[in-house]
Structure 1
Amino acid sequence: MADPNELDTRSDRRRFLAVAGGGALLPLVARGQTAPPVADKPLPPGLPQPIETIDLWPNGAPGMPRAALKETVNERSDNALLTDRAVFGISRPRLAVFRPVRPNGAAVMITPGGGYRWVVVDKEGYEMGRWLSARGFTVFVLFYRLPGEGWAAGPDVALSDAQRAMRLIRHRARDYGVDPLRVAAMGFSAGGHLCADLLTRFATPTYKPVDAADQLSAKPILAAPIYPVITMSAPHAHTGSRELLIGKDATPALEVAHSPDRNVPADAPPTFIVHAEDDPTVPVENALLLRAALRARGVPVETHLFTHGGHGFGLRFTAGKPVAAWSDLFLSWATGLLL
């Protein structure tokens, strides 16, 4: 079985379990955690919503913007039976938890997309959370801070949240019936950039340690950037994500620093990439650049390119199309590493 940071020895496993918190999980209210993002629109029946969250930062997120943020959830769907929420102004980054009925011991942290303008709730977050948890995975959907909203960490702010979240999942692994060595990362679009940033810069210090959780590795056992934003350089950069992440007039050095394909280490985790060749928003070359960089470093990479699929298909926009196979392809590929 592959490991997240050469931590597959018995002594390393004991270290993980010793640092990871034990004890029964307390209810959301008793734990004093921030509720999941909520919109004003009534929720449709039959779609389970997470009620359990984990705040990332016990003393508040570091480097607060000068102007106070107001968390806002926009409901973009006109269909009363289908939600399509997006949230911005996140000042209390957190994980929303989907517990499986029968845990298989593996976990997946999801970073939804949104062009770094907002974080998509349903299409690339909760829907995938339900799908994976129905198959035994414990799922953590990350609502991360946005780099264009004035945080001191600037373009590293979302990566700080992703690193911290990965460490917290491991720290609390016993609470969730999760093996701390079997925690994967999956991200979509700009969240795919964050996923790729994590798989390449998991060991880069982006914040000061705050507690015992920060002794643990932030490296996922495997990563799955789905139709990801990768490069910050023309001609294939996604303009909106680039401007919000590093600024319209970013230097070439800043572009390199935040293009995951330019920062792949030799010990990056095995990676699964999906993209549609007709993607009108994020050119397929983003996936190809990451694939080439991983292969050049000898990192195992599984890549699936579909002729048709567009952008942002998630699960809901794949019905009746060949691209619908991507989730099962991921499951087949990941099984040998996670289970």
Structure 2
Amino acid sequence: MFDRRTAILGTLAGGLAAPALAVAQTAPPRIGATTPVPGLPEPDETIDLWPKGAPGKLSPPIVETVDERSKDASLTDRAVHGISCPRLIVFRPRIPNGSAVLVAPGGGYVRVVIDKEGYEIGRWLAARGFTVFVLFYRLPGDGWAAGPNVALADAQRAMRIIRARARDYGIVPERVAAMGFSAGGHVVGDLATRFAAPVYAPVDSADRLSARPDAAALIYAVQSMMPALAHPGSRDLLIGPDASAASAATHSTANNVSAQTPPCFLVHAEDDSVVKVENSIEFRAACKRAGVAVETHLFTNGGHGFGLRRAMGKPAEAWPDLFLAWARTQGLG
């Protein structure tokens, strides 16, 4: 089972370039000093998003904590909370194809699930030529001044930094996609529809660049904040349990789709009992109304949070290859 799982999760080590450690940047979280799973390299290259610290600093400061949730020694499932230094974790391919993907893991806005919806897809995409940046974003429930826009601010800043450093990574600035899972799908949906919203004060020349992704992949994404469709936990942490209908509408991504929204790729399982499939259906309908190109894959079986590892043997197992095929039609890869 481990051999098959390793194969599906990546060509995981074979397509990765040797890491280049970024100087004076916040390190990725670790549990212990050794590589958790032999053969799966831990990333070492990071980019802090905010050179003078994240705006709206908390007092007292929060402490970043990593929890290992897996009971399987051959498969990590780490989740991080208390993120006060948002950053990008970089996966470089051995042979760059000129395209990049910003990846926002999920976690219900309680945590950021870094293995299942971050590092695994990072290794998988890097093995296929993409330069991947996994986003450690701040969580709205921690009390940041930006409130429900705090993760969007980090995502906008991340896109601008990727473009500002495109030459360093062999990236074409017009070939930067974003991919989000579950609540991270809401972050990316927000980014795809509100990329120009002024949610933070510019800090350097990178902020003159566009934050619009050239394509967006929303995987079993939280989209709606309206009570009938919302994932309750994500809604409560993003806008509060007593949020007004106006606030819920503002932060429901389908309401913000416009002709400027980039082409979108949607994946959802119809048996998802955590985030209703209607979240993706509603977003697709909004794209169609706005004339935005959208490809949608609804699977009969897959549940929620399948990523790569939990899709195996289910109809949803096809989604990564479908994404690659779609990405090529968008000039990526």
With the shorter chain as reference, the TM-score category is over 0.9
Unaligned stretches of 5+ in structure 1? 1-25
Residue 31 (structure 2) aligns with: 39
Is 1:182 the counterpart of 2:180 in the alignment? no
| CA RMSD of superposed structures (Å) | 1.1
Q: Which runs of 4+ in 1 moved over 6 A?
A: none
Residue 249 (structure 2) aligns with: 256
Whole-angstrom CA distance in 2 between matches of 1:28 and 1:207: 28
Whole-angstrom CA distance in 2 between matches of 1:193 and 1:41: 33
Residue 221 (structure 1) aligns with: 214
2:137 to 134, 144, 154: 144
Whether contact under 8 Å (2:189, 2:223) holds in the other structure is yes
C-alpha offsets along residues 134-192 of structure 1, whole Å, 9 cap, x if unaligned? 00000000000000001000000000000000000000001111111100000000000
1:290 to 283, 294, 315: 283
Offset of residue 269 of structure 1: 0.2
Whole-angstrom CA distance in 2 between matches of 1:258 and 1:169: 25
Whole-angstrom CA distance in 2 between matches of 1:196 and 1:131: 22
Is 1:63 the counterpart of 2:35 in the alignment? no
Offset of residue 40 of structure 1: 3.7
Q: TM-score, normalised by structure 2?
A: 0.92
SS, match of residue 134 in structure 2: strand
C-alpha offsets along residues 307-336 of structure 1, whole Å, 9 cap, x if unaligned? 100000000011122211000001001112
Unaligned stretches of 5+ in structure 2? 1-18
Offset of residue 38 of structure 1: 1.6
2:195 to 197, 202, 211: 202
Is 1:123 the counterpart of 2:116 in the alignment? yes
Distance of aligned partners of 1:27 and 1:306 in 2 relative to their CA distance in 1, 3 Å threshold: closer
Offset of residue 35 of structure 1: 0.3
Tell me the amino acid that sits aligned with residue 327 of structure 1.
P
Whole-angstrom CA distance in 2 between matches of 1:304 and 1:44: 32
Residue 336 (structure 1) aligns with: 329
Offset of residue 81 of structure 1: 1.0
Is 1:104 the counterpart of 2:97 in the alignment? yes
Tell me the amino acid that sits aligned with residue 245 of structure 2.
P
SS, match of residue 317 in structure 1: helix
Offset of residue 66 of structure 1: 2.3
Tell me the amino acid that sits aligned with residue 55 of structure 1.
D
Offset of residue 274 of structure 1: 0.1
Whether contact under 8 Å (2:216, 2:263) holds in the other structure is yes
Whole-angstrom CA distance in 2 between matches of 1:111 and 1:323: 19
Residue 314 (structure 2) aligns with: 321
Tell me the amino acid that sits aligned with residue 164 of structure 2.
H
Offset of residue 41 of structure 1: 8.1
Whether contact under 8 Å (1:113, 1:190) holds in the other structure is yes
Tell me the amino acid that sits aligned with residue 30 of structure 2.
V
Tell me the amino acid that sits aligned with residue 261 of structure 1.
A
C-alpha offsets along residues 181-205 of structure 1, whole Å, 9 cap, x if unaligned? 1000000000000010000000101
Whole-angstrom CA distance in 1 between matches of 2:142 and 2:30: 20
Offset of residue 27 of structure 1: 4.7
Whole-angstrom CA distance in 2 between matches of 1:196 and 1:268: 9
Whether contact under 8 Å (1:41, 1:75) holds in the other structure is no
Residue 173 (structure 1) aligns with: 166
How many residue pairs were aligned?
Answer: 313
Whole-angstrom CA distance in 2 between matches of 1:130 and 1:44: 14
Whole-angstrom CA distance in 2 between matches of 1:103 and 1:119: 27
Residue 12 (structure 2) aligns with: none
